[in-house]
């Protein structure tokens, strides 16, 4: 299926073409701060983009206030699912990575509530402190840092955090995380974290075989 170019009905002939907007969205998240021209084109063609990606079984998620946009699969009826291949794959996350995302989302909510700015920056050591209590007891410091590095690498790969240039141990928590861990889920976080601790188990709580 070809993406309409400039001059196609519904796409202004003297403006950005639809393909220049849809293709980056199919590749990943579009951020205002990283691609301001692309972002403006997306805003101008928003209705056309929504119509086009709907044909592909996708929906556009766009947050003007936070400055990000991405595509995700639409909730589909069973017969639609059989006819339309999934273009945006679901990713199965490991338990520790899911836990870290939950903790970072909680930290982002606390940061916003404090009104300290728009960018939440954490060091690797601060991330380690967030997750330390939930990891199996008895791990030495070196092993803990190695584990945290691995989890952070995955979070960065997923696009929920990024390393600061020239400061490899400093990370910015990207605000798109709010779109994946919503307010209702966050309100239940304390119960979820308690369940996490129970699942991991503490010393002396190991179940008999």
Closest CA to 130 of 182, 185, 171, 180: 171
Using 50, 70 and 90 to split pLDDT, how confident is the model at 203? very low
H helices, E strands: number in the chain: 10, 6
Q: In the chain, what are the helix, strand and coil shares in percent, each to the nearest 5? A: 50, 15, 35
Same domain, 102 and 74: no
Whether residues 60 and 152 fall in one domain: no
208 occurs within a structural domain: no
Residue 5 located in a structural domain: no
Predicted TM-score (pTM) of this structure? 0.64
- Residue 170, pLDDT above cutoff 90: yes
Question: What secondary structure letter does DSSP report for 68?
Answer: E
Confidence of residue 126 (pLDDT cuts 50, 70, 90): very high
Q: Is the pLDDT of residue 101 over 80?
A: yes
* Averaged pLDDT of the chain: 76
Mean pLDDT of 159-181: 88
| Structural domain includes residue 56 | yes
Angle between helices 19-27 and 36-44 (to 10 degrees): 120
| Residue 9 resides in a domain | no
Q: Does some domain include residue 89?
A: no
- Which of 83, 110, 132 is at the close of a domain? 83
The predicted pLDDT at position 4 comes to 45
- What domain range includes position 124? 95-200
Contact criterion met (CB below 8 Å) for 101 and 177: yes
Q: Do residues 109 and 194 both lie within one domain?
A: yes
CA distance linking residue 186 with residue 172, whole number of Å: 20
- What pLDDT is stored for residue 16 in this prediction? 61
Residue 10 belongs to some domain of the structure: no
Domain limit, last residue, from 32, 57, 83 = 83
State whether 165 and 111 are in the same domain: yes
Structure tokens at 95: 């338990």
> Which CATH number goes with the domain that contains 174?
1.10.10
**DSSP state, 28?**
S
Q: Are both 75 and 116 inside the same structural domain?
A: no
Compute φ and ψ for 164, nearest 5 degrees: -75, 140
pLDDT tens digits, one per residue of 39-70 = 999 999 999 999 999 888 889 999 998 899 99
Give the residue from 96, 97, 75, 93 showing the smallest Cα distance to 84: 75
65 and 156 together in one domain? no
Instruction: Decide which of 77 and 138 is more confident.
Output: 138
Q: Per-residue pLDDT for 104 more than 60?
A: yes
Residues 49 and 126 in one domain: no
Number of domains in the chain: 2
């Amino acid at each position: 299926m070809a993406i309409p170019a400039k001059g196609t009905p519904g796409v202004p002939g003297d403006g950005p073409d639809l393909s220049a907007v849809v293709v980056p969205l199919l590749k990943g998240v579009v951020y205002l701060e990283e691609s301001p021209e692309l972002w403006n084109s997306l805003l101008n063609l928003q209705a056309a983009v929504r119509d086009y990606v709907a044909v592909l079984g996708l929906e556009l998620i766009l947050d003007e206030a936070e400055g990000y946009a991405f595509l995700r699969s639409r909730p589909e009826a069973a017969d639609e699912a059989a006819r339309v291949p999934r273009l945006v794959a679901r990713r199965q996350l490991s338990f520790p990575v899911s836990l870290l995302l939950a903790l970072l989302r909680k930290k982002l909510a606390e940061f916003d509530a404090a009104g300290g700015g728009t960018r939440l920056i954490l060091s690797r050591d601060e991330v380690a402190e967030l997750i330390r209590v939930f990891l199996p007891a008895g791990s030495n410091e070196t092993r803990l840092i190695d584990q945290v590095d691995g989890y952070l690498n995955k979070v960065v790969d997923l696009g929920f955090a990024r390393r600061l240039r020239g400061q490899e141990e400093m990370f910015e928590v990207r605000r798109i995380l709010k779109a994946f861990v919503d307010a209702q889920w966050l309100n239940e976080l304390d119960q979820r974290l308690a369940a996490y601790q129970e699942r991991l188990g503490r010393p002396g709580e190991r179940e008999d075989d």
